Homo-oligomer: A and B are copies of this chain.
Amino acid sequence: MTERGAAAAGGEALLYLTDDQLRKGIEAMYFAYRGFTADPDRILARHGYGRAHHRAIHFINRAPGTTVNNLLSILGVTKQSLNRVLRTLIEDGLVESRIGQADKRERHLFLTAAGRTLDRELSEAQRGRMRAAYREAGPAAVAGFRQVLEAMMDADLRRQFAALREGGP
């Protein structure tokens, strides 16, 4: 009746891998994500937009001049879905679509001044919550948080994530 699980697993303390701990993590992820999206959702609703618009705005701001295809692969949706969103953002003057210089089939996407304003409003809200959570948890917890999140991504999403890291500041 000694610590059988731990012993069988090679002497390490693997209590954090019990089904109950895993379930707690799953539920925490669910509730936290709701918090994560709550503030932007409220702002978006005021402007008549949804999360899809937020994602487009975010990644266009993240990589100005990105092509539609590039955005599609980051977001993992169909071009019809993305196009519906992009069309309204362009019509509303938040996004500008420029025909490519080298390859004229491509459209390069940029935020307009108005687009950047909305992006700032959204990202400030989201960063505010993140900052509060980070501050409450402390630097060591934040490092762990980031590690687990990265390990939870699909391989291809992890690559997308890493690519954003390289390109960006």
Interface presence of A8 (CB below 8 A): no
A94 shortest CB reach to chain B, Å: 19
Contact count band on A: 35 or more
> Which listed segment binds B: A80-88, A100-108, A148-156?
A148-156
B contact residues around A38 at 8 Å (CB): 154
In contact, B153 and A31 (Cβ under 8 angstroms)? yes
Report the nearest B residue to A157, measured CB to CB: B31
Interface string of A29-59 (1 = CB under 8 A from B): 1111111101000000000000000010000
Among A20, A28, A38, A62, max chain B CB count under 10 A is at: A28
Interface presence of A7 (CB below 8 A): no
Mostly helix, strand, loop or mixed at chain A's interface? helix
B contact residues around A139 at 8 Å (CB): 13, 15-16
Interface string of A91-132 (1 = CB under 8 A from B): 000000000000000000000000000000001001101111
Q: List 24 A-B contacts (CB under 8 A).
A: A15-B139, A19-B127, A21-B134, A25-B134, A27-B62, A27-B164, A29-B32, A29-B36, A31-B153, A31-B158, A31-B160, A31-B161, A32-B149, A32-B152, A32-B153, A34-B154, A35-B152, A130-B152, A132-B151, A137-B151, A140-B144, A142-B144, A144-B148, A145-B148
